[in-house]
């Protein structure tokens, strides 16, 4: 059994020096983060995007990088690299009126599993949880599957846990990835 992981902070960022520790089921913050991640999956499958947006911390980043190894998202080409404003614009395109991303939007069912703690801030105000995500989608008579390694940085605020950063590393990110018409 893996020991508990205490990450360090550098300029407010979490250290990911220790990875793949088991999810400590006796840690209320880890369980709160896990609950938030499952709630996020449910909201995305239900296309409740405005409610999904309330799960985010101010300044939260939603990233789908092309390079599976990159950690420099600002300096790399990404499929998605959204801050608050861009995330809300994406939601507006998915929900408001006619747009290619909203027309016949895919129906999805996702499974999120294989949870591990990647790091914790020494202050206890955030935790990074790594997981595997498989999304089954159906659009215009076709079924498809997308798989990814996902890292959520969950920040604990006075209003409860919030997503500070979500990085979705698609296993086929370096190949042609067709427009999905939904959020990962």
CATH of residue 117's domain is 3.10.450.50
Query: Is the residue at 43 inside a domain?
Result: yes
- Residue that the structure tokens 């990074």 belong to: 128
Query: Is the residue at 46 inside a domain?
Result: yes
> What pLDDT score does 46 carry?
95
> What pLDDT score does 6 carry?
35
Instruction: Collect contacts of 108-114 with beta carbons under 8 A, ≥24 apart.
Output: 108/44, 108/45, 108/135, 108/136, 108/137, 108/138, 108/182, 109/45, 109/135, 109/136, 110/41, 110/44, 110/45, 110/134, 110/135, 110/136, 111/41, 112/37, 112/38, 112/41, 112/150
Query: Is the residue at 166 inside a domain?
Result: yes
- Residue that the structure tokens 């190949």 belong to: 175
> What pLDDT score does 160 carry?
94
Structure tokens given for 30: 């880890």
> What pLDDT score does 157 carry?
94
Prediction pTM value? 0.83
Query: Is the residue at 182 inside a domain?
Result: no
Count of domains forming the chain: 1
pLDDT by 10-residue block (mean), the chain, 184 residues: 36 42 78 96 95 96 95 94 94 74 76 91 88 93 92 95 97 78 75
Of 10, 14, 42, nearest in space to 117 by CA: 14
Q: Which domain holds residue 51?
A: 24-170
Q: Report the distance separating Cα 158 and Cα 45, nearest Å.
A: 27
With a CB cutoff of 8 Å and minimum separation 6, the contacts of 92 are none
DSSP 8-class letter at 148: E
Query: Is the residue at 179 inside a domain?
Result: no
Query: Is the residue at 85 inside a domain?
Result: yes
> What pLDDT score does 22 carry?
72
Query: Is the residue at 112 inside a domain?
Result: yes
Query: Is the residue at 32 inside a domain?
Result: yes
Q: Report the distance separating Cα 171 and Cα 165, nearest Å.
A: 19
């Amino acid at each position: 059994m893996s020991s508990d992981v205490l990450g360090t902070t550098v300029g407010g960022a979490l250290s990911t020096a220790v990875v793949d520790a088991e999810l400590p089921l006796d840690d209320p913050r880890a369980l709160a983060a896990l609950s938030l991640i499952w709630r996020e999956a449910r909201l995305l499958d239900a296309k409740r995007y405005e409610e999904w947006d309330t799960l985010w911390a101010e300044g939260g980043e939603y990233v789908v990088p092309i390079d599976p190894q990159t950690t420099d998202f600002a300096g790399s080409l990404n499929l998605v690299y959204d801050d608050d404003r861009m995330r809300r614009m994406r939601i507006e395109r998915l929900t408001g009126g006619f747009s290619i991303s909203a027309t016949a939007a895919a129906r999805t069912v996702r499974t999120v599993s294989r949870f591990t703690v990647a790091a914790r801030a020494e202050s206890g105000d955030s935790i990074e949880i790594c997981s595997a995500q498989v999304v089954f989608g159906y659009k215009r008579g076709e079924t498809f599957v997308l798989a990814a390694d996902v890292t959520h940085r969950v920040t604990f605020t006075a209003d409860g846990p919030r997503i500070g950063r979500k990085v979705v590393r698609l296993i086929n990110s370096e190949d042609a990835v067709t427009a999905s018409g939904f959020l990962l």
